[in-house]
Amino acid sequence: MSAFLPPQRPTSRHLPFGDRRDAPFYGKHIISVKQFSRDDLTYIFEVAHEMREMVLRVGSFDLLKGKILANLFYEPSTRTSSSFTSAMERLGGSVIPINEVRYSSVAKGESLPDTVRTLESYADVVVLRHPQKGAAALAAQYARKPIINAGDGAGEHPTQALLDLFTIREELGQVDGLTITMLGDLKYGRTVHSLARLLSLYDVRLNYVSPEILRMPPEILAELEEKGIPQAEYSTLEDVLPETDVLYVTRVQKERFEDPAAYEQVKGAYIITPKTMAQAKSRMILMHPFPRVGEISMDVDTDPRAAYFRQMEYGLYVRMALLAMVLGKA
Ligand code: CP
């Protein structure tokens, strides 16, 4: 007999009481934004809206009572980790937090597949952040329960892209027709990789502003080119700021550089100040996935166009929606 047992999907025999098998995304992994259609996004955002209403009205409710989330983070996180925890707890569920894998059996050399198969023995869904591109897809090959990619190295950060898109819709009313400018570390910034792919489902124009060594990866440019999305690359922001509806700023990802001298050359390449904002449209938004390390000066925070703290809050509602969906309750 083969020692390898193929991953199993839940069957009616395994189906927990009250779960809806026909619910969109029930039992599905969330690995890449490539898996979403525009209709999927409309549905996710409708559910996120309902979550927002419920949080504003009652704070917490028992939609996921009895469900358990394993939050498995091999890399530091403040927003993704704590918003998934908050999402699960506001839905009445509970969380196994593994935010410091060095205190888990990972420190003894346990593999990612074994760690994931262990956690799914105790939990109903696993949220995974890992420094290696492709780690979430690898985990999903072995998992019977849904894996949600919370960032895989310089690969993707699909739930961040969903909340980014939700932010744009909430703040500006629509996505079609917008000019979105991405600024900073476009090579290693997984948030911009996922967001660019997701935006390619809409009628948008994309500008990429970065130092030469941090340009958007060619495979993403090629994917969007194939979909007919107008794209242009720049080294200075001034050229495109006046036409920009969404300015999406990213941190230079120090931890992904092999050569520290190269990081020193490009850190601080762009800093958004009130003077920068004076050149921007009066109706635009400034976004950042955070953490920021100086790319946006704190005296921009009071500008009503600075949407980054609202963006974090939208993340809670989107992650509540995703948990409810993969667990068959939405
Ligand atoms: N935006 C984001 O992924 O933030 P954290 O690294 O704090 O989770």
Question: What CATH architecture is 158-312?
Answer: 3-Layer(aba) Sandwich (3.40)
Q: Is the pLDDT of residue 144 over 50?
A: yes
Q: What is the DSSP letter of 306?
A: B
- pLDDT-derived band at 149 (thresholds 50, 70, 90) equals very high
Does 76 sit behind a cis peptide bond, omega within 30 degrees of 0 on the bond before it?
no
pTM for the model stands at: 0.93
pLDDT tens, residue by residue, 43-93: 999 999 999 999 999 999 999 999 999 999 999 999 999 999 999 999 999
* Average pLDDT of span 3-7: 43
Q: Is the CB of 78 under 6 A from ligand 1?
A: yes
Distance between CA atoms of residues 165 and 182, nearest Å? 13
Q: Is the pLDDT of residue 255 over 90?
A: no
Q: Is the CB of 80 under 6 A from ligand 1?
A: yes
Distance between CA atoms of residues 322 and 45, nearest Å? 10
Q: Is the pLDDT of residue 304 over 90?
A: yes
Going by C-alpha positions, the residue among 113, 158, 147, 70 that lies closest to residue 326 is 147
Q: Is the pLDDT of residue 148 over 70?
A: yes
Q: Is the CB of 155 under 6 A from ligand 1?
A: no
Ligand 1 center–CA 76 separation, angstroms: 8
pLDDT tens, residue by residue, 181-199: 999 999 999 999 999 999 9
Ligand 1 center–CA 80 separation, angstroms: 5
- pLDDT-derived band at 5 (thresholds 50, 70, 90) equals very low
Q: Is the pLDDT of residue 3 over 60?
A: no
Type and span of the H or E element at 148: strand 147-152
Question: What is the pLDDT, as a whole number, of residue 18?
Answer: 61
Ligand 1 center–CA 163 separation, angstroms: 12
**Annotation: CATH topology of 33-156+315-326:** Rossmann fold (3.40.50)
Sequence ranges of the chain with CATH classification 3.40.50.1370: 33-156+315-326, 158-312
